[in-house]
Amino acid sequence: MTILQELVALYDQRAAQKDWPRPGFSSEKIGGVIVLRRDGRVEGIRDLRHPEGKKLQPQPMLVPAAFKRPGINPPAFKLWDNTAYTLGVSGKDKGTAERHKKFCTTHLDLLAEATHPDLLALRTFCETWHPDQFAEFPDAKELLDLNLVFKVESGPYLHDLPEARELLKAEADPNSEKTAMCLVSGRKDSVARLHPSIKGVMGAQTSGASIVSFNKAAYESHGHEQGANAPVSKAAAFAYGTALNALLAKGSGRSLNIGDTKTVFWARGSAAEEAEDSEAILAHVFGGSSEDRDGEAEKAEEHNLRYMLEAVASGKPPQGSHAKPKTPVFVLGLAPNAARLSVRFWYPGELGDFAGRVTRFWKECAIEPSPFQREGHLIPPRPWKLLLDVAARREAKNIPHDLGGDLMRAILTGGPYPATLLTAVLGRLRVEGEPDRKKHGNQDGRRAAMIRAVLERNTGGIPLALDENSTDVAYLLGRLFAAYTYAEDSNQQRNAGVRQKFMGAASATPARVFPVLMRGYENNLDALRKAGEKKASARIRTDRAVGAVIAALPPDLPASLPLEAQGRFFIGFYHQNSAFYTKAEAPDDTAQMDMELTE
């Protein structure tokens, strides 16, 4: 099934259970309510916002559906709108009078045949209200430009009145609408001219963007206009838009940002519990556990996650969960594209297959020593966290364009990792030099894990831990560079040392750089000798590693290394550098090594 068909099926399955908007309604952020008297005068303008953190936030409410409002004098919404339309006041002033006039005209037409007293009060309000009267309600200034609804005294909101719903329903004449075969349902039905706005995608228009849109002649064909070029019924368009907006809503737990891509996920089970437990697994895989959770609870949760994924990956239903290996799951990646949304990836599959690909990603990211250890407990790597390590200043906005979507597509499909990921990691290593471990933790390890994952899947044969028997030239050069760096650090800490100055050049053009590094190493080694017993251990460990690596290298170093070889260079550097900082040998062993080297 297509993306839209699955979203429509999701709406049909969960609309009643989740209290999603019914056709003709949408969930909007409402800041306040205009309370009318029976004679149409305003009794008060009350704040409906609720505290969230240090601010008051509008509350979501089901109201007559919003729609796109292009143009100089856009139409008004029914029975609700912002203060420029409802009261004729705004903090922006531009076009306010015309918008309030449009609101009044729209509702006088809508309520021309109304008989309910509350609706008659709104009609009288539209005939008698003047924007100057807003000054009588000084407490309502904080609600300027927010959305407001209506009610009469202690009655219900006007949009909830059965008679109001009937008026809204009767306003459209179905006989005048174009009909066609719906591409989603396969039934002949009224075609949606404009598709719903999808909100919540970072970087897209705040008012929402469309997945399906035709707004220029170049996109149209056979004389069709707008939605008629890809006919989708109004019912199907409403259903998929409502379901997708619910998944994208703040606090839904079913979406997150990975780079510039918004990743949305859901499951479809034969029972609600099966879908909920499957989605809980998806949410934990993508989102991870809370940073403020206590260590024991996090360990238990991570252990449980790993157990459940390994179980479903092997085709077994996990104990204590209703999730099943055959449960259908769906992962959708959306990215902004002007007024539209681009689909970066779409994964319809089964939970068991999904689990197998995720655990494969974890294994490919494995490296020793592991950067994913926390208090002796292994935390599975999350794609969105790893991508922060390829961004300048570790800010999500600086993650290379398209990289998030490309990485997720590779994980979900099992295809090759994008070469741009390897390029981005190596680029940060060249630019940043040595990372701040106190500030960013084991960033070298996480970057080495990404490099290993790319190379392991795309080329294979990448060692998990330090391989002293490897004959790969790039890997050996990385080990040698680590030894030169360690010798310098053991001798004297410098603000701009060997790593900061030469990491990029050494990994790209070793034949030109390593002779220079060798001379510097000999000076550092001589200084370590003069330090005597104080630095004997560092001198011995370094000299032993340098001797072993040089013995394995060919006589002529390569003039340049390709991209994949530069990745193996850094893997070798990470392995050897980490080995230097493991627990030092016992004093007796150190003395023995010293004796061997001086004989």
CA distances from 416 to 381, 406, 412, 419, 451 (A): 18, 10, 11, 9, 13
Q: Residue type for 471, please?
A: T
pLDDT band at 588 (very low <50, low <70, confident <90, very high): very low
pLDDT of the residue at 593: 41
* Averaged pLDDT, 2-6: 95
Q: Has residue 293 got a pLDDT over 60?
A: no
Under a CB-based contact definition with an 8 Å cutoff, are residues 183 and 69 in contact?
no
| CA atoms of 456 and 453, how far apart (whole Å) | 5
Q: Which of 113, 145, 171 is where one domain is finished?
A: 171
DSSP secondary structure string for all residues of 154-215: TS-BGGGSHHHHHHHHHHS-GGGS-EEE-TTT-SEEEBPSSPPPB---TTS-TT-BBSS---
Q: Are residues 524 and 501 in the same domain?
A: yes
pLDDT of the residue at 70: 73
| CA atoms of 567 and 427, how far apart (whole Å) | 11
The answer to whether position 496 is within a domain reads: yes
pLDDT of the residue at 598: 40
Q: Are residues 438 and 531 in the same domain?
A: no
pLDDT digits (tens, 9 = 90+) for 195-250: 999 999 998 988 889 999 887 887 788 888 888 899 999 999 999 999 999 999 98
pLDDT: which is higher, 596 or 181: 181
Q: Which of 124, 148, 171 is where one domain is finished?
A: 171
Under a CB-based contact definition with an 8 Å cutoff, are residues 180 and 186 in contact?
no
pLDDT of the residue at 49: 97
Q: Are residues 394 and 489 in the same domain?
A: no
Q: Are residues 43 and 144 in the same domain?
A: yes
pLDDT of the residue at 299: 65
Question: Across-strand partners of 33?
Answer: 46, 149
Task: State both tokens at 585.
Answer: 């040998």
The answer to whether position 494 is within a domain reads: yes
The answer to whether position 440 is within a domain reads: yes
Q: Residue type for 343, please?
A: V
The answer to whether position 55 is within a domain reads: yes
Q: Which of 427, 345, 442 is closest to 391 using CA atoms?
A: 427
| CA atoms of 125 and 79, how far apart (whole Å) | 12
pLDDT of the residue at 554: 96
Task: State both tokens at 365.
Answer: 């990211």
| CA atoms of 159 and 67, how far apart (whole Å) | 16
Q: Are residues 59 and 141 in the same domain?
A: yes
Q: Are residues 496 and 455 in the same domain?
A: no
Task: State both tokens at 537.
Answer: 């251990």
pLDDT of the residue at 116: 97
Q: What percent of the chain has pLDDT over 90?
A: 72
Q: Are residues 65 and 85 in the same domain?
A: yes
Cβ of 186: how many Cβ atoms within 10 Å? 11
With H, G, I as helix, E, B as strand and everything else as coil, classify residue 331.
Answer: strand
Please give the residue range of the domain that contains residue 595: 470-599
Under a CB-based contact definition with an 8 Å cutoff, are residues 274 and 324 in contact?
yes
Q: Has residue 357 got a pLDDT over 80?
A: yes
Return the C-alpha torsion angle 284, 288, 293, 298, nearest 10.
70
The answer to whether position 242 is within a domain reads: no
Task: State both tokens at 9.
Answer: 């099926």
> How many structural domains compose the chain?
3
Q: Which of 171, 192, 223 is where one domain is finished?
A: 171
The answer to whether position 523 is within a domain reads: yes
Q: Residue type for 82, please?
A: N
Q: Are residues 432 and 301 in the same domain?
A: yes
Q: Are residues 395 and 484 in the same domain?
A: no
Q: Are residues 487 and 361 in the same domain?
A: no
Q: Is 140 exposed, middle or buried (0-12, 13-18, 19+ CB in 10 A)?
A: buried
* Averaged pLDDT, 267-274: 92
pLDDT of the residue at 298: 62
Question: What is the DSSP pairing of strand 340-350 with strand 328-337?
Answer: antiparallel
Under a CB-based contact definition with an 8 Å cutoff, are residues 449 and 441 in contact?
no
With H, G, I as helix, E, B as strand and everything else as coil, classify residue 362.
Answer: helix
Under a CB-based contact definition with an 8 Å cutoff, are residues 57 and 49 in contact?
yes
The answer to whether position 193 is within a domain reads: no
| CA atoms of 479 and 257, how far apart (whole Å) | 36
Q: Are residues 476 and 456 in the same domain?
A: no
pLDDT of the residue at 246: 95
pLDDT of the residue at 379: 85
Q: Has residue 583 got a pLDDT over 70?
A: no
Q: Are residues 415 and 447 in the same domain?
A: yes
The answer to whether position 21 is within a domain reads: no
pLDDT digits (tens, 9 = 90+) for 412-467: 999 999 999 999 999 999 988 888 888 889 999 999 999 999 999 999 999 999 99
pLDDT band at 592 (very low <50, low <70, confident <90, very high): very low
With H, G, I as helix, E, B as strand and everything else as coil, classify residue 266.
Answer: strand
Q: Has residue 292 got a pLDDT over 60?
A: no
pLDDT band at 254 (very low <50, low <70, confident <90, very high): very high
Peptide bond into 369 cis (omega under 30): yes
Cα angle value 344/345/347 (rounded, 5°): 165
Question: What is the DSSP pairing of strand 59-64 with strand 55-57?
Answer: unpaired
pLDDT digits (tens, 9 = 90+) for 297-355: 666 677 777 788 888 999 998 888 899 999 999 999 999 987 789 999 999 999 999 99
Regarding pTM above 0.75, the answer is yes
- CA Rg value for the chain: 32
